Amino acid sequence: MIGVFYFCTMIDYLIVGSGLAGVCFAEFALQKEKKILVFENNSQPSSMVAGGLYNPVVLKRFSEIWKAQEQLDITSVFYPNLQEKLRITFDYPMPILRKFASIEEQNNWFVAADKPKLASFLNPKIAYLDYQYCPAPYGFGEVLYSGYLNIQKMVLSYREYLKKEQLLVEDSFDYDALKISKECVTYKEHKAHHIIFAEGFGLHQNPYFQDLPLDGTKGELLHIKAPNLKINEIIKSNIFILPIGEDIYKVGATYNWSDKTNEPTAEGKQELIEKLNELITCDYEVIEHLAGVRPTVKDRRPLVGTHNQYRNIHLLNGLGTRGVMLGPFLAKSLLEHLEENIPLDKEIDIERYYKKRAKS
């Protein structure tokens, strides 16, 4: 139920989507004392099934992540403050240990750890840990400032907060009901200065932005119970093993660029099991199998900014596989762009695609 307040007062921001991106924008807007209303229809589960890992390094190539330090500076404040506000814990700082497969990988790690932009994120000492059921003769490389977010817990708790404050509408968004003028947007009985679409892979149903190149990459995860494994860090090889308590581990993830459904597959499960059996040697039980489509973009940069025709319609999307770090950074950037006219970074601004079309 929405309070009378919204029937008679102009809202600052309508926000469509309350996954990770929508939650981040909503919270930053509320911190600025903006009036918001959030719409959620639970159609896209990617935030709810995501692995939730965060780290400032590309572990496949031992290279830096785009604007890693700026992202960490924001997340290191945003998530602790949100935990305090919601009175829950969903952020679990934890080392990521990259298992080395060879001497060559060890040497590549040493080279990376010497680079100025990576030195603060990588422990230069090789870690040799006595994990009985996760043998690693070449040791591990430790990534600093890493961990995982229980995104599902955060999102569901934030939705409950929005409900309590009468700021959430749980209903499918009807694009045909959106009316646009120069001064505002009107959706049914609600008027707002701006509308933010933060729908993840649901963007493909959005008539205002569906022509943007949101590709989507399906990922599948397992939850396993392994009482004898006894691992307290995140282990990363060609998959990751993440301890979430009570001898339960999250195992992921697959990457499928052709299947755009949210249904778990036998092929995805088999791929994860085969890779897991190469990584650990103890018995385990698969207790859950999850899948979702990540909102990825072909040029590996998010989709943020304003529609090229309607100046009060905006997009916050394309968080991809690194949404935990990107979400607060992008939401803050978009809000500052709209409120303070601070330019968006050209690499994330959807204007990059509009300009390409104009030239062609």
> pLDDT digit string (tens) for 171-215?
999 999 999 998 999 999 999 999 999 999 989 999 999 999 998
- 306 and 326 share one domain: yes
Does a structural domain hold residue 79? no
Given a cut of 80, is residue 274 above it in pLDDT?
A: yes
Separation of alpha carbons 117 and 302, rounded Å = 22
- 288 and 325 share one domain: no
Please give the pLDDT value at position 46. Answer: 64
Given a cut of 60, is residue 5 above it in pLDDT?
A: no
Please give the pLDDT value at position 8. Answer: 47
Does a structural domain hold residue 101? no
DSSP string, 206-262: -TTTTTS-B--EEEEEEEEE-TTT---SEEESSSEEEEEETTEEEEE---BSS----
At 35, which CATH number?
3.50.50.60
Does a structural domain hold residue 58? no
- 227 and 261 share one domain: yes
- 308 and 210 share one domain: yes
Separation of alpha carbons 302 and 309, rounded Å = 20
Please give the pLDDT value at position 7. Answer: 46
The domain of 196 spans: 5-49+152-214+299-359
Q: Which of 214, 325, 65, 99 is nearest to 333 (CA)?
A: 325
Please give the pLDDT value at position 309. Answer: 94
Given a cut of 60, is residue 2 above it in pLDDT?
A: no
For 7, 17, 75, 341, 348, the CA distances from 25, given in Å and listed in that order, are 22, 10, 13, 16, 16
- 223 and 203 share one domain: no
Does a structural domain hold residue 194? yes
Does a structural domain hold residue 17? yes
| Percent of the chain clearing pLDDT 70 (strictly above) | 96
pLDDT category of residue 358 using cuts at 50, 70 and 90? confident
Name the one residue in this structure whose structure tokens are 């209903």: 171
- 224 and 288 share one domain: yes
pTM for this structure?
0.93
- The angle at the Cα of 247, spanning 229 to 327, to the nearest 5 degrees, equals 105
- 306 and 331 share one domain: yes
Number of domains in the chain: 2
